[in-house]
Amino acid sequence: MITSKRSKAGDWIIVLVCVIVMLVCLLPIVNIAARSLSSTEALIRNEVGLWPKGLNIEAYRHVLEDGKFTRALWWTALLTVAGTALSLVMTAMCAYPLTYDKLKGRRFFNVLIIFTMYFNAGIIPTYLLLKDLSMLNRPVVLILPYCLSVFYMIIMRSFLSELPVSMRESAEIDGAGPIRILVSIYLPLSAPVIATLALFYAVGRWNGFSDALMFMNKREFYPIQLLLYNLITSMSNIDIVTAEGGTNPGLTESLKAAAFMFATVPILLVYPWLQKYFIAGATLGAIKE
């Protein structure tokens, strides 16, 4: 009886901690949403909390009418889709061969790949390498250099290693080659880990701006996050003119909040579609090394 009471108390503590963590993550987003919909006068007086005051959508009108934001949004969406697809292909191609125990040099390749998790050349050598490869200021520089995560590759490798070897051996007896086994057997059974890694890669690509900041000077190829970075550091790139032709100093903060929501909501909409795969993929792929 005492053990049961302690167990229930522990469950309630876990629930409380989860609620606190959820509120810590959710409240800033709610506050930004409220600021984006509030009147400029309420923002100037710093009266906005978790609920908008003086409903005003003028900031969203400026964001939608500004070609830089819509262009950057579509460009970032294209980068996210293309980068995620390429990353999944590279991850599968790297993880799958390492599941073969008879692969010559398997231990060496494992050590070499894991070594890159802890040691890298640094930003300056990377910049010089991309410069020598003529990749700077080209769209490909935002996709290829970071198309593979060793950590995510290890997750997929561990997941694939847990699949029964007998399936692969049966397919080999029927004459299937390694590529056919990967495409017809392993990948269909790997939907949870593929969906999870797709979510990780997509969020990382959508939120990425440091690579564009360092390697891209052409504004037409700026992703949405770099545009927001410039918005935070300097508002001089945004024309803040009201419908009456004047200027409103309170519109600056409202415009920032609207731009944040404009860049945050699309990637948040991806989570519900992949939620059913998320837990299984994140845990099954990390049970053993």
pLDDT digits (tens, 9 = 90+) for 95-139: 999 888 888 888 898 888 888 888 888 888 888 988 898 888 888
Break the chain into its structural domains and give their ranges. 2-44, 59-284
In CATH terms, 59-284 corresponds, of 1.10.3720.10, 3.90.1150.10, 1.10.30.50, 3.60.21.10, to 1.10.3720.10
pLDDT at 277: 64
pLDDT at 207: 86
Euclidean distance between CA atoms 118 and 66, whole angstroms: 42
Residue, of 262 and 147, whose pLDDT is higher: 147
Residue with tokens 């049970």: 287
Q: What is the rounded average pLDDT of the residues 210-236?
A: 81
Q: What is the rounded average pLDDT of the residues 162-166?
A: 84
Determine whether 125 is exposed, middle or buried from the number of CB atoms within 10 Å of its CB (0-12, 13-18, 19+): exposed
Give the three-state DSSP class for 147: coil
Tell me how far the alpha carbon of residue 26 is from its chain's centroid: 18
Q: What percent of the chain has pLDDT over 70?
A: 85
Cβ–Cβ contacts within 10 Å for residue 124, how many? 8
Q: Which of 152-156, 261-265, 280-284 has the lowest average pLDDT?
A: 280-284
Does residue 237 have a pLDDT over 50? no
Determine whether 135 is exposed, middle or buried from the number of CB atoms within 10 Å of its CB (0-12, 13-18, 19+): middle
pLDDT at 85: 93
